Amino acid sequence: MNLTSGKLQNFKNYELGQILKGNIERGRDLKIRLEEIIKEAGIEAGYVQVLGAVRCARLGYFNQNSCEYEYHNFDEPVEIINCSGNISLSAENEPTLHAHMVVSDKSGKAFGGHLETGTEVYVGETIIQEFKGEPHRRSEDPESGLTLWSY
């Protein structure tokens, strides 16, 4: 498939690589452990999904006016409705995880944002899908200051 022109020019085509499926250990920091697994498996491009529950969560919200993250801490057990993200290479050529998570409290109220360190796993059923091919690389977007996929 030719993705170098037309409406698909900002997309890449990949073959599917290894699929890792398992549980994140109770008490571990979700983001840190996912990054460890990704590096240990040598994955440079892929997709991550986690379902389960956390004892506490830290989520980020990117304020588009100030171009800064604001953080929200949930210091109580919450369910992971969905946590998903992508794997690509940083400007330093290191595998990096960009993930978002939606959680709900005991009343069913949902909250979401950028997965941050400080999120402690209670149950974390995880699937990591590797994409084989040239990985996306991240570089700083001068307008927002975010590190985004570069083409």
What residues form DSSP beta bridges with 21?
Answer: 127
Total number of domains constituting the chain: 1
pTM above 0.85, yes or no: yes
DSSP letter at 25?
Answer: P
Per-residue pLDDT band for 8 (boundaries 50, 70, 90) equals: confident
Query: Is 88 domain-assigned?
Result: yes
What angle (nearest 5°) sits at the alpha carbon of residue 21, between those of residues 17 and 26? 140
pLDDT at 148 over 90: no
What angle (nearest 5°) sits at the alpha carbon of residue 36, between those of residues 30 and 41? 125
pLDDT given at position 44: 97
pLDDT digits (tens, 9 = 90+) for 102-138: 999 999 999 999 999 999 999 999 999 999 998 888 8
Radius of gyration of the chain (CA): 16
Query: Is 3 domain-assigned?
Result: no
Query: Is 72 domain-assigned?
Result: yes
Query: Is 142 domain-assigned?
Result: no
Query: Is 139 domain-assigned?
Result: no
For residue 70, the enclosing domain spans: 15-134
Query: Is 141 domain-assigned?
Result: no
Strands (DSSP E) found in the chain: 15-24, 46-63, 68-74, 78-89, 95-104, 110-115, 120-132, 137-140, 147-150
Domain of residue 77, CATH code: 3.30.1330.80
Contact in structure between 43 and 130 (CB atoms under 8 Å):
yes
